[in-house]
Chain A
């Protein structure tokens, strides 16, 4: 009964709240108002039921907090990450996935290959951002700027000097990496919220410069007629070039995955994770904060540069509008939804963000609002993301050391 009353009040409150925006739509030129009363009913009914779900989920979350947390972490891993740990399951699954992704362009149309290219590009972007946000814990809101640096490096080099794709690819990565380090230098002292805002500002500065430096970058109309990557001097048709780019980006995505996975378990990766957990303790342990932070930025943004070069080669036309803050926010939400620090999570996250709206056309209009809501809900109910990242387990074989540890 209590719940019913609460739900009715919430529902009435939201009906009041959404009344002007959802119901009235004015046309100030023709001086007419369109009243959409049905929306009010939808909001009322929707909120009425959602408030039940909301309270149930909050209660569940609170109940969990009082349970003993130590036993929970051991067994509470999703079935997916448990399956991935079992080599007998994981290896054939990975092999099948690999075979499927290699055969993909033969099975689907050019249009769908295109979608998969952008999916893989987001995987690369997400994995790069994951190094900075997930592993090193530095909230970074300017990833799109480095994506833009990569794309513009190739576009400008190609436009002015006729430099080909394969030379531009490492150069784009290098420029983005250098850009990341250049940004990191001044912001080394900042953390948390301040860092987020500075990186956002930096991203916007780059976009505004690209937009306004018309003589070099073509301004808001961008650069067109960028060469597609060449294959031993052969002229490829558009469809074939697409398949070719698909394989390039697939290779890049696989390399990124392996590199990021290896990085996480390396000395640098452990230093980054230590930095995320406690900066002061980390310095006390002798980790050079400056070096490690620069490395995090450089390593993360380099992938954005590679992805940018491929993006420019794929679309053959770029303009600053492709690299707005929205783009950074999408990449960030991929990382956050997937689970910060988890590679598998990033793949699932980009699948969710890129493939879902493509295949569920009805949702494409609602895509951004669903993601935005998912971001908030994720933070409220499952801050660790879809796939919770977990640290690597280290086994000790030396019996003496084990004894020492137990003592």
Chain B
């Protein structure tokens, strides 16, 4: 057994898994509150990456230091994605509350296609190179060939934001209101919780995390195009399902699980079929354990 290869794959899976977890949180939170698979969530991630690229491009010309650029790119991408998530909910999902079950889902698919084509028309359909924004840290030198500085930043940033989110949900008043709305929206409304506000907040938080993921992964992979959101979105959704959709710790766990599985399957079996493993895992989980690792099986009311 080649231990170095094993560890390398594990660390690669960790990086990948943290990004999946970041995006999966958006899916799982929205699903927890309005029971909608927000198909366009992957596109928010893609928009975040593009906004980051534009900020980085503009600031790069004026010669700002890489660190400042990274920080600004992340902040502005988060700001804009939060705004996009908020607007998307108001335009495409809010008028559909109480409509038949399929309608919001089709509306979400429409939104996803809309955002993809918006990028094609306003920017480009080609692959664009993304500048490297994270400098090589000196203390990472000995293991840089298997776990670079970018990986470290991704893992740390994801971990920090997930801890922050967990604390927010657990200990703030807004977090409590969100949990209440997720459990029973009508009851929460009767108790004076503004459900519309809670739903908007959910979209804003999910989109912000997706934006963070978008910028970080683009600087890691060094390129982006309008399709990155689709694949990342489906994978993150897989992660959310693996962990148990509706559960935030589940999304984190599912993301890591999916990242590691993909990484090891690609390393030991075949990298051509990397995406096939992810989809097969999704199909297998949905068939045998649709409630996921941490989820509760839903009780069907007649």
Contact = CB atoms under 8 A, between A and B. Distances in A.
Interface of A: 13-14, 16-18, 20-22, 24-29, 31-33, 39, 58, 61, 137, 139, 141, 186-187, 189-190, 192-194, 196-198, 200-202, 204-205, 208-209, 212, 280, 325-326, 329, 332-333, 336, 365-366, 368-369, 371-376, 378-380, 383
A376 B283 contact: no
Nearest to A193: B37
Contacts, number: 178
Contact of A31 (B36, B47, B61): B61
Contacts of B283: 186, 198, 201-202, 205
Contacts of B286: 187, 190, 194, 197-198
5 contacts: A21-B47, A25-B123, A33-B61, A208-B279, A329-B113
B99 interface: yes
B276 A205 contact: yes
B40 to A, nearest CB: 10
Give the interface residue-count category, chain B: 35 or more
A35 to B, nearest CB: 9
A192 B105 CA distance: 9
Nearest to A21: B122
Interface of B: 35-37, 47, 50-51, 53-58, 60-61, 76, 80, 83-84, 87, 91-92, 95-96, 99-107, 109-114, 116-124, 128-131, 230, 234, 237-238, 241, 272-273, 275-276, 279-280, 282-283, 286-287, 290, 300, 302
Contact of A20 (B35, B55, B103, B300): B55
Contacts of A20: 50-51, 54-55, 76, 80
Contacts of B105: 139, 192-193, 196
A205 B37 contact: no
A379 B51 contact: no
Contacts of B287: 186-187, 189-190, 198
A26 B99 contact: no
Given A13-B87, A186-B287, A208-B273, 5 more contacts: A205-B279, A329-B113, A375-B107, A376-B114, A379-B110
Given A16-B83, A365-B121, A369-B114, A375 B276 contact: no
A325 B58 contact: no
B55 to A, nearest CB: 7
Nearest to A340: B102
Nearest to B281: A201
A204 B113 contact: no
B57 A379 contact: no
Contact of A383 (B55, B80, B103, B241): B103
A209 B83 CA distance: 38
Contacts of B122: 18, 21-22, 25, 39
A29 B106 CA distance: 38
Given A200-B234, A332-B106, A369-B121, A209 B58 contact: no
B176 to A, nearest CB: 27
B261 to A, nearest CB: 15
A13 B90 CA distance: 13
A33 B57 contact: yes
